[in-house]
Structure 1
Amino acid sequence: MSAPSAPFHRGEAEAPDAERLMRSRYSAFAQRDAAYLWKTLHPDHPLRARPEADVVRELRAFAQAHQYPGLTVLGHQPPDASGLARVLFFARVFEKGRDQSFVERSDFRHDGTGWRYLEGVLKLPRDLPVPPESLTLDTFPAD
């Protein structure tokens, strides 16, 4: 049985919404699919100003250095009038046995072809006033 995001990774389909794109990007990190991570960056993302080969190499090295045991979506917001969609998630990530997990509020925009990752605000669990799983988009401390 293939993973739900496999058609996205293979280029057979585009994620239908920002939440599915975010889930597929987490899966791409776990599968070390750096080409997909590049493809799903919005044209306005700062990494897109750099050479693709350099960014793909760095993404692959990052993905290979980490383990990705789980993801919890804490909330999502459909596109607003400007086309911006948001997803709040708790990503479990480990590097050499050390917990590097984080909560991120990610912004996504459609680029005419599909949903793309624009930017995100990341918080470590130790810097949060409440347990990560209790956060919502409204309570996420963005400052």
Structure 2
Amino acid sequence: MPKPQLCPCTSGLSYRACCAPFHAGGEPPDPRTLVRSRYAAFALKEAAYLVRTLDAAHPDRALDATLYTRAIKDGQLRYMGLTLLDAEDVDEVGVARVLFLAKIFERGRDRSFVELSDFRHDGTGWRYLAGINVAARELPAGGAGLTIARFRQG
């Protein structure tokens, strides 16, 4: 797949200046950047990066790596935009959180969602630990302007 000029994470930067260094082996400096780089990795089908940035406790780590990679590469999703909505710094147990809106379509159907993701630093880099997501269509204004506090209230 040819690499895009603009980064799929919708930062407005070129792919080369934004997420490409992370996909090539670098470590994002914070959870917000990890969200952006993982979104771009899904859009570009960079399955190895997605596996590498999963926390050891994430259930997908137990999946067969070949099947996981094939599922990512064979996916029919179109990644249309990412909006970071809110974030919380590391808490007392070492978990940081990011709330984001991912605009995704599958064969013309809107599959967009808002997710509150948990991240933990494993000594090497930030890793995706877990997430709770809600279809954007189920939220007022599609989730735009939502905060972590309001997301938790349901």
Q: Measured at CA, do residues 142 and 32 of structure 1 come closer, stay the same or move farther in structure 2, by a change above 3 Å?
A: farther
Which residue in the other structure is 1:55 paired with? 68
Checking the alignment, whether the CA contact within 8 Å between 1:128 and 1:141 is kept in structure 2 is no
Q: TM-score, normalised by structure 1?
A: 0.91
Checking the alignment, whether the CA contact within 8 Å between 2:84 and 2:100 is kept in structure 1 is yes
Greater relative CO (CA pairs within 8 A, separation 6+): 1
- What's the offset of the Cα at 1:60? 2.2
Within 2, Cα distance between the matches of 1:3 and 1:71?
17
Which residue in the other structure is 2:149 paired with? 138
Letter of the 1:21 partner, please give it. Answer: L
Letter of the 1:5 partner, please give it. Answer: C
Checking the alignment, whether the CA contact within 8 Å between 1:74 and 1:133 is kept in structure 2 is yes
Checking the alignment, whether the CA contact within 8 Å between 1:104 and 1:120 is kept in structure 2 is yes
- What's the offset of the Cα at 1:42? 0.5
Aligned residues: 140
Query: For residues 37-116 of structure 1, what are the structure 2 equivalents within 5 Å?
Result: 37-62=50-75, 65-116=76-127
Within 2, Cα distance between the matches of 1:7 and 1:99?
30
Which residue in the other structure is 2:35 paired with? 22
Contiguous gaps of at least 5 residues in structure 1: none
Local SS of the residue matching 1:22: helix
Runs of 4+ in 1 over 6 A off after TM superposition: none
Contiguous gaps of at least 5 residues in structure 2: 1-13
